[in-house]
Amino acid sequence: MREGGRRRIGELRGWAAANPWAVDIGLALLVQAAMTMPFVVPRPPELEPATWPAYGLTTLMVVPLVWRRRAPLAVLLAMLAASALYRLALEGPGQPLPYTGLVSVYTIAVLSPPWKRLVTGLLMLVAVPVSVWLNTQSARELTFSLFVFGAAYVFGRLTEARQREHRVEAERAAARERARIAREMHDILSHAVSLMIVQAEAGPPAVRVAPERAEAAFDAISETGRDAMVQLRGMLGLLRDEGSSAAPRDPQPGIGELPGLVERVRGGGLDVRYATEGTVRPLPAATGATVFRIVQEALTNVVKHARAGSVSVRLGYGRGEVEVRVTDDGRGPRPGGAGGHGLIGVRERAAAHGGTASSGPGPDGRGFELRAVLPLEGRDMRKVRG
């Protein structure tokens, strides 16, 4: 229920941002309705009846509000001029609040640069006492008028600060999304291209001595390319408009796709062993996708850099965590190497789930091992979700 209310509020804000003219016209009509009340409420017999010219002048004060975003200071000046004419030239009913002035001051506080806000403050310090002197000449009205205009200005500044905070948060969210998409694209393309290169290099020699192996290599190239295209289409579909029916919404690969991943890498000539430990159980979709991408990146690094003959992929299910270990028998870590973008992406993926990732020499000092631990539930996951 609460989530639905937030969604509707977000949709309403989006509509208002896309239709500023409609919002300003609606606001002007609302202010006009408020200023109409003293004209329709019966007046005491000793007062002159309200006239149509006086009512028309209230409309003249309200109409400039339609342009309040484009020229807020000019709207305030036009409102002050019309208000002075109303006060001096016509006998019209008074208003309980200076609606147009409050809206103009609020808008200036939200949208205008500091020098315009300063001009507005000085102008109101003159206009408010003059208006009170022309009306009741009472300290009570002066205090009240200064208070309500000051409150309108403060509310405007608070609104501007909140909007600025929302913009900063939106920019941060966009940066996080760009980083996530960059990791996904890197993992998909790097893995597919690496396997295709290895299989393409193995194809020509096999044509001469073992045609069936060459055919298998070319089939693996085709399958790898098709799989990469499917994943890329799914990723690019997320960048389209939410309402586009053409945008695919296929789920991210998960634990169930690991055997197929292992088989594709094995098709390139690398001996890949896959095993699980503990009680195998379903994982949350996001955690399963992270496990798949971590294993994919680890196998890609083995194909590209390790010069290994075999690699072991182990998935360990603990009580509250899942552990991923990918160990090869290749040449091990490069001296002084801190890892490329792929290993950085692995650490970022693990951290996004409240987990950790580390890499280094294999258990016996030979080869290379990548280890990641992801919590399934508990304090770390709740912290990430919040």
What would the pLDDT profile of 142-179 be if each residue is shown by its tens digit? Answer: 898 889 999 999 999 999 999 899 889 988 888 887 77
Domain boundaries, the chain: 2-137, 267-386
- Say whether pLDDT at 23 is over 70: yes
Distance of alpha carbon 318 from the chain centroid = 34
Q: Which fold has domain 267-386?
A: Heat Shock Protein 90 (3.30.565)
Average pLDDT over residues 65-79: 90
pLDDT of 237 reads 66
pLDDT tens digit sequence for 33-64: 888 888 888 777 766 677 788 888 888 889 99
Q: Give the pLDDT confidence score for residue 302 in this predicted structure.
A: 84
CA dihedral 140, 145, 150, 151 (to 10 degrees): 90
Specify the pTM: 0.57
Give the pLDDT band of residue 341 (cuts 50, 70, 90). low
Quick check: 296 pLDDT over 90? no
Q: Calculate the average pLDDT of the chain.
A: 80
Residue 289's nearest CA partner among 264, 252, 322, 326 is 252
Determine the pLDDT at residue 85: 81
According to the model, what pLDDT value does residue 118 have?
A: 93
Give me the pLDDT at residue 161, please.
93
Lowest mean pLDDT among 62-66, 124-128, 295-299, 333-337: 333-337
pLDDT of residue 263: 85
Higher-scoring residue by pLDDT: 244, 197: 197
What percent of the chain is modeled with pLDDT above 90? 21
Whether the per-residue pLDDT at 249 is higher than 50: the answer is: no
Q: Which amino acid does the sequence have at 148?
A: V
Residue 204 has a pLDDT of 67
What is the arithmetic mean of pLDDT over 289-308? 85
Q: Is the pLDDT of residue 342 over 80?
A: no
Tokens of 356: 């950790």
Question: Residue 378 above 50 pLDDT?
Answer: no
Which pLDDT band, with edges at 50, 70 and 90, does 379 fall under?
A: very low
Task: Please state, in angstroms and as integers, the Cα–Cα distance from residue 186 to each residue in 79, 133, 250, 298, 355, following that order.
Answer: 58, 71, 19, 13, 21
383 confidence band (pLDDT: 50, 70, 90): very low
